[in-house]
Structure 1
Amino acid sequence: MKFGLLGTGPWAERTHGPALAAHDEVELVGVWGRRPEPTGALAARLGTRPYADLDTLLAACDAVAVALPPDVQAPLAVRAADAGCHLLLDKPVATTPDAARGVAEAVERAGVGCVVFFTLHFCVSTGDWLREQAAVDDWRIGRADWLSPVFGGADSPYTASPWRREKGALWDVGPHALSVLLPLLGPVEEVTAAPGGFGDTVHLALRHTSGASSTCTLTHSVPPAAAGVTAEVRGAQGVAELPLRDEAPAASFARAVDALLTAARTGEEHLCGARFAETVTSVLHSAQRQLPAR
């Protein structure tokens, strides 16, 4: 499948680009970015061609992988779908319900495949765990805490990210938390959000349509020594704890490519498709409306 890569930042450079360039069933035909210098540099590192015009790249592709901020990604995803390209998108797909719905409607209108890279679903250890727990009935309580030091002193390439600075952990790691809780506990019917005491820390309490409830603590503002990811569900079967993600994101992204290839061949919607991504955006938007302006 002929892929174009949209984006030239650290995520594109470290994850999307290497995984696409190394994939046996992918031809990486080009890179498009918003600035010509990094576009040319990344294309050269990946052994492909830089494109100055997005529509020219879309015309040369069967699919696009997007590594751009969500509010840039959403309209470009619609444009790519309308051009007949399958979509491998990043989370969150958008930060407004209207934009996320627009992506889902474009995918359905064009009849293209769409997979959104919710990382935990494509790592072997965490993906297997999620599928195992989804087969168990009657989970009643859940918890998913993402404590990151990106703004807390870590040496991270994402510290300077403008959109992460603007939107905070709610939008960056909140999708990871919801990607665990929603498949196991069901859709959310009510969300309550409260700011934490440091930086971008946010606490969420969720009530699910199944009758289950869950909580999340999300932050990029803890010191490196306090960082960590924990998630669990509890019910009649006992307690199930999310295992550690034990592989590089590029390896997980290669499996997301596999999933898109399958969706494109079969026409079947993936669990991490556009409608699931729309649901995640809706929950996070409801939370955002309850928080003070950043």
Structure 2
Amino acid sequence: MRIGLLGTGPWADMAHAPALRRHDDLDFVGAWGRRPEAAKELADRHGTRAYDDVDALLADVEAVAIALPPAVQAEAAVRAARSGCHLLLDKPLAVTVVQGRAVVEAVRENGVASVVFFTTRFQPGAEGWIAEQAATKGWFTARAHWLGAVFGGDSPFAGSPWRREKGALWDVGPHALSVLLPVLGDARRVVAAAPGPGDTVHLVLEHTGGASSTLTLSLTAPPAAAGATVELRGKAGVTVLPDGTQGPVPALVRAADALLASAGGGHPHPCDAAFGLRVTEILAEAEALLPER
């Protein structure tokens, strides 16, 4: 499948481009960015072509991977879907429900496949654990801590304008929800949302399966406190999300596998644009409960 990349930032360079180049069943045709010089530099590093015109790239490919800020991603995804391109998207799908719905409608109306790259969902150990816990009945409660130190160290994302504006709720909140929702069921409602230090947010969710969950999300944690933990408690006892990770590139290769399978006539992937929209709806509900900072 011929695929192009929209985006030239750190995530596009360190994750998307290497994964597209590595994949045996993808032809990495080229890259486009809002800054042509950055697109040229990325394309040179990864052995592909830089496009100055996004529509020219869309005309040359059957799919696109998008590594753009979420508000820009949503607009680009609609444009790509209307050009008949399958979509490998990043999280969050969008930062407004209206934008997210537009992506889902474009996917449906144009008959294209979509996969949203929730990193944990494409890690083999985590994927197996999530499937096992989803098949287990009687969960009572869960807690998720997703703590980053993006703004306190030498992270390549420290200068990200959208992360500074939207904070941990929108950056790491999707990761936590992508693990909790398939196990505990959809969030019936956001019971509470409260701010913590820095950009930290604490959420309490009520799930359709009867369980409750608490989430602590931050991009401003001390580096020594950073990390992700998901713990479930119920009739089966206590279980914790495995720590192991292969890194983003192998996970993105697996996400591309999922897109190829879906585009080839398979069922929609559980992490498709519709799921990405549901995550956006929950985050927007939580955001509305938070005081303005």
Q: Same fold (TM over 0.5)?
A: yes
- 1:26-45 equivalent positions in 2, closer than 5 A: 26-45=26-45
TM-fit CA distance, 1:195 = 0.5
Q: Which runs of 5+ in 2 are unaligned?
A: none
Q: Please give the per-residue CA displacement for 1:214-266, whole angstroms capped at 9, x wherever unaligned.
A: 00000011111111111011111111100114211101000000000000002
Code of the aligned partner of 1:208:
H
Q: State the Cα deviation string for residues 68-117 of structure 1 (Å, max 9, x = none).
A: 01000001101100100000000000011111111111111111110000
1:16-35: CA deviation from partner (whole Å, max 9, x where unpaired): 00010111000011100000
Q: Match for residue 24 of structure 2?
A: 24
The one-letter amino acid paired with 2:240 is E
* 2:136 alignment partner in structure 1: 136
Indicate the percent of aligned positions where both proteins have the same amino acid. Answer: 59
Cα deviation, 1:147-202, whole Å, max 9, x if unaligned, reads: 11112x22110111111111100000000000011101111111121111x11000
Q: How does 1:110-125 map to 2 (within 5 A)?
A: 110-125=110-125
Q: 2:15 corresponds to which residue?
A: 15
Large movers: runs of 4+ above 4 Å: none
Mapped partners of 2:64, 2:245: distance in 1: 27
Letter in 1 for 2:153: A
**Equivalent position SS for 1:136:** coil
Partner of 1:112: helix, strand, or coil? coil
Equivalent position amino acid for 1:134 in 2: A
1-structure distance, mates of 2:234, 2:105: 36
Residue in structure 2 matched with residue 217 of structure 1 by the alignment: 216
- Deviation by residue 1:121-141 (Cα, 9 ceiling, x = unmatched): 101111111111111122221
How far does residue 12 in structure 1 lie from its aligned partner after superposition? 0.3
User: What amino acid does structure 1 have at the position aligned with 2:158?
Assistant: T
Quick one: which amino acid aligns to residue 21 of structure 1?
R
Aligned partners of 1:105 and 1:142: how far apart in 2?
A: 33
Paired with 2:125 and 2:160, the residues of 1 have a C-alpha distance of 29
1:1-294 alignment, distance < 5 Å: 1-151=1-151, 153-191=152-190, 192-196=192-196, 198-294=197-293
Q: CA deviation at 1:7?
A: 0.2
Distance 2:171 2:38 in 1: 23
The CA distance in 2 between the partners of 1:267 and 1:109, in whole Å, is 18
Q: Where in structure 1 are there 5+ consecutive unaligned residues?
A: none
After TM superposition, the score normalised by the length of structure 2 is 0.98
Output the CA distance in 1 between the equivalents of 2:70 and 2:76: 10
Cα distance between partner residues in 1 of 2:109 and 2:239: 39
Q: Structure 1: which amino acid aligns with 2:241?
A: L
2:216 & 2:140 partners in 1: Cα distance? 18
Q: For residue 267 of structure 1, report the CA deviation from its aligned partner.
A: 4.2
Work out whether residues 120 and 245 of structure 1, in 8 Å CA contact, stay in contact via their aligned partners in 2: no
- For residues 59 and 89 of structure 2, what CA distance do their matches in structure 1 show? 18
Question: Could you tell me how far apart the structure 1 residues matched to 2:284 and 2:80 are?
Answer: 25
The one-letter code sitting in structure 2 at the alignment partner of 1:88 is: L
Looking at structure 2, the residues matched to 292 and 44 of structure 1 have their Cα atoms a distance apart, in angstroms, of: 45
CA RMSD of aligned residues (A): 0.9
User: For residues 214 and 190 of structure 1, what CA distance do their matches in structure 2 show?
Assistant: 11
* Residues paired across the two proteins, number: 292
Moved more, 224-233 or 253-262: 224-233
Q: Is the 8 A contact 1:149 1:222 kept in 2?
A: yes
The code of the aligned residue for 1:95 comes to V
Q: In structure 2, give the amino acid aligned to 1:206.
A: L
- The Cα of 1:273 is off from its aligned counterpart by 0.5
